[in-house]
Chain A
């Protein structure tokens, strides 16, 4: 930082910056890109959270800003990603209840043990109809009943279709949980069991991390991953390619290895949405469990019987 130039404006700016840096972490701000190629280790170590959720220690001198992680303000997070309209397609013929989606989601969002944002239901409509596995995420409805009833605009609908929660605003009345017909919302009944470092970072509506005591949480469609050009955690975690994620405006959905035209896929495989009669207009579509990749085996029921 240059402080030699004595023009009044720069003086003000620098003193502000220095002030900020002092408040932050010493004289050298890690968020200003360092053009000097050879970085000398300062000897001062900083604890960080890796992408795998592990705590790692790095020398402070090596810290650099990550350009693909844009800092999204609360206002931007409430509007959404411009020009997008997200949709998900869940192919029931491919699901065998491996629950990799669930564990990846729980891990990345640091969900309270026992609670799940993704549930995999053993479904059977009637005595003589075929049983199947039905994973559910938040439906990100276009007419979200939860958003309608929220008294404080803590849960909101974005232009790109995602329904998110501002845990810094939620008052914990749980009206949204009563209103949601898909039982998708969970509540933080006690202080979330997360690492101190994680609990200290400011809450972000797009990552839904860290969860806060006394507020509601749910599947957020991982808009932080989408901003980086990646897929939601459940999509990339599923080894059977059950989940397809994409953009209705681009008319494409992908599970990472296969990409389809959304309208073709829904037409050819007779896609449908859950509880259409309620008029909630979900953004999540289902492909019926026909020509299945796996037989239906419910180990949970068998275990219970034993």
Chain B
């Protein structure tokens, strides 16, 4: 490949400073995070009293946000591992986007679960007195493992890019240059180094698949290991995993579009990428729809007494608007858009991605809360406000702050590192030309 073509790729893909839009975006996110931090300060001082949670609905949007974060983080394993191992090459420019979504989401999943604890300062008890039969301990183990594997899968492919970036000393400025050198100055593009990292990436790609399945299956077991109607389901593991791949892929569609338009990457994230990614999302949406039919139709056919109140609440009762909103926005409308070639063009696919992610957030809310409002024994001998749940402003702020925080991590990552792998793009282009 010609040197000039290579330089063009490098110039196109090097991280860029925030423009005016970028600065407004960052300040906006920081403001939301600050509000969340303030609300959490209040919660630490007054206790979980400041939330809308009470004895019956003891898990609310913190937990549904946790499930959402764990779900969206699964996409890292799908794009980097599953597609890599099946020798799919078109997804190469998307791997880093998927992996940073995974790392940032799993980080905030851990944070939001600490926010939900009544005694966060006793977190160390999980290590001091941890008991292996509790699904929470399984979750702690697999989420920690997933976090580190994802971090390494982000880092290893970054090494050749770090070498490229270190060469641009003046452009980088003092701090970034120092950061790049700390992270990657040992990388010399030696064949032996490539050999060893490729091997490591292969091992990580294989091992992350069972771990990814484990994090979301175990998360589903936090519910499925109880007796409650709506949670007591053997379908839950597969139902959660399929939903997780769906929301993660929807997130990738959004990120692709935003990075492409903002950084002018039309040459690297092409219309073809949207077309293919759109097909992935439609397949996953159909799969998730299938599991939803299983999850609701089978118990609804029998209408056992304990399930009846819960199911009717979702279908026609109190939660019906949210339920049908979630089913339509997360699955049916995106399927309708993405099944058609026109719908897989960048803008339409972007809108479908937004629908998937928003619908999926509400879907998680519906998995957690309505079940708790239908206990086996009727709600009784409690103050009137214990029988309903609506999140308080503190909860919305904290949940919003965590979402903003995750976006902030992705934003800063794209500012500091090339969001599309430079080295791999050069290699791919070369192999294309040789063919």
Contact = CB atoms under 8 A, between A and B. Distances in A.
A207 interface: no
B381 A119 contact: yes
Contact of A173 (B46, B116, B223): B116
Contacts of A150: 131, 134
Contacts of B54: 187, 189
A197 interface: no
Contact of A188 (B47, B51, B128): B47
B226 A179 contact: yes
Interface of B: 46-49, 51, 53-56, 58-59, 116-120, 122-123, 125-126, 128-131, 133-137, 140, 222-223, 225-228, 372, 375-383, 386
Interface stretch (A164-172, A223-231, A264-272): A164-172
A149 interface: yes
A177 B58 contact: yes
A213 B381 contact: no
Contacts of B125: 152, 154, 169, 171
A121 B119 contact: no
B136 A187 contact: no
Nearest to B377: A183
Contact of B382 (A114, A122, A191): A114
A191 B49 CA distance: 9
A214 B119 contact: yes
A249 to B, nearest CB: 27
B136 A186 contact: no
Given A102-B381, A214-B117, 10 more contacts: A148-B133, A151-B140, A152-B125, A152-B131, A171-B126, A181-B376, A183-B56, A190-B49, A214-B48, A215-B119
Nearest to A275: B376
Contacts of A27: none
Contact of A182 (B49, B377, B383): B377
A175 B117 contact: no
B196 to A, nearest CB: 38
B131 A151 contact: yes
Interface string A213-224: 111100000000
A215 B118 contact: yes
A190 B118 contact: no
A215 B279 CA distance: 47
A115 interface: yes
